[in-house]
Amino acid sequence: MSAVLALPRLSSAWRGALPALALVLVAALAVYRDTFASMVAIWARSDTFAHAFLVPPIALWLVWRRRGALRAAVPQPQPWLLLPMALFALLWFVGDLAGANVVTQFCGVLAVVLAVPTVLGLPVARVIAFPLAFLLFMVPTGEFVMPLLMQWTADVTVASLRAFGIPVYREGLTFVIPSGTWSVIEACSGVRYLIASFMVGTLFAYLQYRSTRRRVAFALFSLVVPIVANWARAVLIVLLGHLSNNRLAAGVDHLIYGWIFFGIVISLMFIVGARWSEAPAPADPPARGMFAAAGTGSQPLLWGTALAIVLVWLVPQAVQGGRGGPAPLATPMVLPMLVAGPEQVGEAGPAFAPVFEGATAEASRTYADAAGPITVHVAYYRQQAAGRKLVSSQNVLAASNDKVWRSVSAGTRELQVGGRRVVVRTAELRSGAVGQHGGGLPRHVRSVYWSDGRLTISDVAAVLYAVRGELAGRGDDAAAITFSMPGADPEVADAALDDFVARQLPVISNWLDGMRARR
């Protein structure tokens, strides 16, 4: 005698919906494979985003928790959602042209997220809305706030030391106290803990609270806590170093600033949040919608929607794959003399050159001026892509760990260039020991982007100009132009540098136009 285990059969709607959704998700991984691969590569090499490896399994677990409610829902395709999907596919195309990884990565993840309501319908998507939104934590973004966090950390640390009666001399992100010199570098910003805290804080809020107000409040709380905690860490480390005559600070800094410190902060945050936790929602009803004998929904509409999604994704990819462009340069470009003026001269003191990674070509020349030598540096980019693009967080005047130069101030200034107003970035750099008198002269800097024949200081505008040029067939050629000169008297140096920039920037811009024309 044998017994047959009777398994419930899926309703006709789910029998068609699940394979259609699987087709779409596999297609997303295939179409956006380079985009997803770039995300995984960042997770693997960056401690800031290593936690993103946990996001997909956590999202799947969250969906599994709602399986009872999903059984009660009947999938219905929503073809009208193809319109926003097409817009995101277009945005992916623009982001790929611009070499903007964060744009292509967000669009790749949103392609997966939007596929669910498009194929299964909005009622199903509402049941698992949070797990779908949680997938956005896969995108490795957030480092753009690092300069601001570093500035805040330096401000709070210096103010706290002065409140304790410790004299402080500050230049930019570096400051001196009687016991030694301290600098706020990227590792001191606390951005990696801010991003991880926001992810786990958002997950905690979803699991512990039922009201939207409490969930939002705790998510915001998880953003504030790591920032304030990092300020406290920075102040305590400097105080510890000062009081111990720098015998303890170096070793303790690595210990306290590590994941042990982060774990303590997160634990305290959860303890506080648990005091206002709400009773869990009633268990999902054991409904049989998924296993009903009958189901609604048109199978042709369902599969037509799935295939339309794949087509929407493939069109930008096909255009991108067939897009023409200049052949790779066989040899590095050699830039000629950029401006007409006095012959090139040498310069005393440490050499200066801004950092521009992956530039197609760079040129730097120094010219004599009545007020002193002025150096012109041009970093030229062609066929921009990830790792070789004009606008990047890696492209700076001086890195925070630069052994020679440090930035002490930055701003903007409006100049009359060729009969029109042009805004340029300004900065002041210093070399030598902090507060040193008679050491290296301050270096005054002016910089501006040239992109598709336009001058701008806006990162966004520079990228969009390059995309416009590429779409118009002119190429994505762009450049960063930097003028700098040493000068002990800021007023004299600034006046001389502004005059030089106003006279020579049109010459450089015209020369760059000619460079692009010779593609």
Average confidence (pLDDT) over 424-451: 79
Distance CA 407, CA 425 (A): 13
Backbone angles phi, psi at 47, to 5 degrees: -65, -25
Average confidence (pLDDT) over 485-497: 85
Placement of tokens 């400097």 in the chain:
238
2-39: pLDDT as tens digits: 444 443 455 666 777 888 899 999 999 999 998 999 99
Backbone angles phi, psi at 394, to 5 degrees: -85, -15
What is the model's pLDDT at position 342?
54
Cα 88 to chain center, whole Å?
A: 18
Q: How far is CA 145 from CA 19, 81, 190, in A?
A: 41, 33, 10
350 token code pair: 């440490």
Under the banding of pLDDT at 50, 70 and 90, the label for residue 1 is very low
* H/E segment holding residue 147: helix 146-163
Average confidence (pLDDT) over 232-248: 81
Q: Tell me, what DSSP letter sits at residue 477?
A: -
Average confidence (pLDDT) over 459-476: 88
Average confidence (pLDDT) over 102-126: 93
Distance CA 325, CA 94 (A): 15
* H/E segment holding residue 366: strand 361-367
| Higher pLDDT among residues 100 and 159, named by residue | 159
Per-residue pLDDT at 336 exceeds 60: no
What is the model's pLDDT at position 81?
92
What is the model's pLDDT at position 325?
45
Per-residue pLDDT at 297 exceeds 60: no
Average pLDDT, the chain: 82
Average confidence (pLDDT) over 65-81: 86
Distance CA 17, CA 9 (A): 14
Per-residue pLDDT at 490 exceeds 70: yes
Average confidence (pLDDT) over 261-285: 77
162-199: pLDDT as tens digits: 999 999 988 888 888 888 888 887 777 888 889 999 99
1 token code pair: 């005698």
Per-residue pLDDT at 70 exceeds 70: yes
Average confidence (pLDDT) over 256-272: 78
Under the banding of pLDDT at 50, 70 and 90, the label for residue 264 is confident
pTM: predicted TM-score of the whole model, two decimal places? 0.81
Under the banding of pLDDT at 50, 70 and 90, the label for residue 59 is very high
Per-residue pLDDT at 512 exceeds 60: yes
Per-residue pLDDT at 246 exceeds 80: no
Whole-number percent of the chain with pLDDT over 70: 83
Per-residue pLDDT at 471 exceeds 80: yes
CB 128 within 8 A of CB 102: no
Per-residue pLDDT at 222 exceeds 70: yes
Average confidence (pLDDT) over 353-357: 88
Average confidence (pLDDT) over 255-266: 71
Break the chain into its structural domains and give their ranges.
12-139+295-321, 144-274, 361-517
Under the banding of pLDDT at 50, 70 and 90, the label for residue 295 is very low
Average confidence (pLDDT) over 345-366: 78
